[in-house]
């Protein structure tokens, strides 16, 4: 046996999704059931066990101070809304989103909002050059001497930068492009992502510095890398948006310091991201009342009520019927077509169907069923739903309407925008929200109340 053979590093096979280890390469992971996620990586060296002493002694929970977990505002009101006030010192936040959605723009604006003379901030770019980041900062008006910039991919160099700058906030863009040289594997591998995430979490806790990590996403919208990446961080943010629209949606998928029921709405402009003051008014700004196939629905995204327009267009096509949806749940559209065809006798299953939520909104909750169903029927009959009407409710397979949560907040938002009537399920309780509430038991009854008879 040669010296090279004796010193060659052993490898193992690990799943990129869940981190499960397999003895050899297989097509399907036994841990999470995903296909083609097993990759080969160097086996980590096992250190001999050592005597471990606690860093800090255990203390009564009543003696633990809550002041250290107070959030620091970021200067972006919508981000602070989602985070419950701002970033917490010592916390680690993972921001995921599709390429080009504006993750780097968002984080540069956060750095500009949190930078201070006594505690600078640090931006570590591992994908772009320092010159590219500077040009973006110049466009955003974020050129400040207390924002430090480092172009590094080496984890040890990043730790050294943190020790030298002693920042209040560190941004690492992105966690899939940095690597620990001790592992020997390529950046983005399961072992590298896991090791770098654990090291940065430990760094945040030891130094009391807030860390924001940028994460890549796969083609189906989930965060790339092992699932342990989401487990070790304190907060996971999802940054969504269509590059053809200015609207950006910010949600907390996981948040150890607060609620995950808040939604942040931002608009991408030439000077960066700006808060959307009135999202309902923005979604309805270009609405044309009196058009068949258009219905307004008050939806609830987390705790936030938003009024959105949904549209449907059905036409006779050739061959197999097409179904194209944008911003709404394709499964719910198929269910509504079946209910309308079977329960109401309208032959819609053989028609080409196009359904969408306008303005870049995403409406996937069952509370939009009634509005979508009425939009489909309105398109088929050619009768427009009255312009002062909103509709909200879940449609069952029997055509019955079921109530949804937060109905009072939904209708109050619709009344604020000037709507006068609301079609809701019969089981909806009595409400005093400033508009007329029309309670109906079925989708058929809702059609009769609105006069969509064709």
Query: Average of pLDDT values for 403-409?
Result: 93
Residue whose C-alpha is closest to residue 77's, from 321, 268, 282, 264 = 264
Specify whether the CB–CB gap between 329 and 362 falls below 8 A. Answer: no
Could you report the per-residue pLDDT of 108-157, keeping only the tens digit for each?
Answer: 999 998 877 678 999 999 999 999 999 999 999 889 999 999 999 999 99
Token pair listed for 198: 């654990």
Output the pLDDT for position 5.
45
Nearby residues of 61 by Cβ (< 8 Å), 6 or more positions away:
none
Domain boundaries, the chain: 9-42, 70-277, 281-450
Query: Average of pLDDT values for 299-318?
Result: 91
Token pair listed for 282: 């923005």
Output the pLDDT for position 117.
61
Output the pLDDT for position 153.
93
CA 278 to chain centre: 20
Task: Tell me the pLDDT band of 4, cut-offs 50, 70 and 90.
Answer: very low
Could you report the per-residue pLDDT of 415-427, keeping only the tens digit for each?
Answer: 999 999 999 999 9
Output the pLDDT for position 425.
96
DSSP code of residue 43: P
CATH architecture for the domain at 281-450: 2-Layer Sandwich (3.30)
Could you report the per-residue pLDDT of 156-211, keeping only the tens digit for each?
Answer: 999 999 999 999 999 999 899 999 988 877 788 888 888 899 999 999 999 999 99
Specify whether the CB–CB gap between 389 and 422 falls below 8 A. Answer: yes
Could you report the per-residue pLDDT of 220-254, keeping only the tens digit for each?
Answer: 677 776 777 888 999 999 998 887 788 899 999 99
Specify whether the CB–CB gap between 301 and 406 falls below 8 A. Answer: no
Q: Strands 294-301, 352-357: parallel, antiparallel or unpaired by DSSP? A: unpaired
Judged against a pLDDT cut of 90, whether residue 335 lies above it is answered with yes
CA distance 132 to 335: 48
| Helical residues (DSSP H) of 23-129, grouped into ranges | 77-83, 103-114
Residue whose C-alpha is closest to residue 164's, from 116, 110, 207 = 207
CA distance 41 to 24: 11
70-277: CATH class: alpha beta
Could you report the per-residue pLDDT of 28-70, keeping only the tens digit for each?
Answer: 888 888 888 888 877 766 556 666 666 678 888 887 776 667 8
Query: Which of 223-227, 245-249, 286-290, 295-299 ranks highest by mean pLDDT?
Result: 295-299
Cα 37-40-44 angle, rounded to 5 deg? 120
CA distance 310 to 390: 11
Mean pLDDT of the chain: 88
């Amino acid at each position: 046996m040669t010296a090279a053979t004796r010193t060659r590093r052993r490898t193992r096979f690990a799943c990129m999704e869940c981190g499960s280890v397999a003895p050899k390469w297989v097509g399907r992971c036994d841990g999470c059931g995903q296909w083609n996620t097993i990759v080969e990586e160097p086996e980590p060296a096992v250190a001999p066990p050592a005597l471990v002493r606690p860093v800090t002694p255990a203390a009564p929970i009543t003696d633990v101070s809550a002041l250290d977990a107070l959030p620091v505002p970021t200067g972006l009101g919508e981000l602070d809304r989602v985070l419950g006030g701002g970033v917490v010192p010592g916390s680690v936040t993972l921001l995921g989103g599709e390429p080009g959605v504006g993750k780097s723009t968002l984080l540069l604006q956060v750095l500009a909002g949190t930078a201070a003379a006594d505690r600078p901030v640090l931006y570590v770019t591992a994908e772009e050059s320092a010159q590219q980041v500077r040009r973006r900062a110049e466009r955003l008006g974020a050129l400040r001497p207390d924002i430090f910039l480092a172009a590094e991919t080496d984890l040890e160099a990043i730790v050294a930068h943190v020790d030298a700058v002693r920042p209040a906030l560190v941004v690492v863009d992105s966690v899939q492009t940095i690597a620990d040289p001790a592992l020997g594997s390529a950046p983005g591998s399961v072992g590298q992502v896991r090791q770098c995430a654990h090291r940065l979490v430990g760094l945040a806790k030891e130094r009391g510095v807030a860390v924001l990590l940028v994460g890549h996403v796969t083609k189906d919208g989930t965060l790339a890398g092992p699932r342990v990446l989401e487990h070790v961080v304190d907060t996971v943010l999802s940054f969504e948006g269509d590059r053809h629209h200015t609207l950006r949606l910010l949600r907390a998928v996981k948040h150890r310091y607060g609620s995950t029921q808040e939604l942040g709405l931002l608009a991408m402009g030439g000077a960066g991201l700006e808060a959307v003051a009135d999202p309902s008014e923005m979604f309805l700004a270009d609405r044309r009342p009196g058009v068949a196939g258009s219905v307004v629905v008050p939806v609830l995204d987390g705790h936030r009520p938003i009024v959105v327009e949904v549209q449907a267009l059905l036409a006779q096509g050739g061959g197999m019927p097409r179904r194209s949806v944008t911003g709404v749940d394709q499964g719910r559209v198929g269910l509504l077509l079946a209910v309308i065809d079977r329960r109401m006798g309208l032959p819609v299953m053989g028609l080409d169907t196009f359904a969408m939520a306008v303005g870049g909104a995403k409406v996937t909750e069952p509370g939009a069923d009634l509005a979508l169903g009425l939009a489909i029927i309105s398109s088929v009959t050619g009768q427009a739903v009255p312009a002062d009407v909103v509709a909200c409710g879940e449609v069952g397979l029997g055509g019955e309407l079921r109530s949804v949560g937060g109905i009072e907040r939904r209708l109050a938002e619709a009344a604020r925008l000037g709507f006068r009537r609301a079609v809701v399920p019969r089981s909806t309780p009595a409400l005093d929200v400033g508009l007329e509430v029309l309670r109906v038991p079925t989708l058929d009854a809702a059609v009769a109340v609105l006069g969509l008879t064709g």
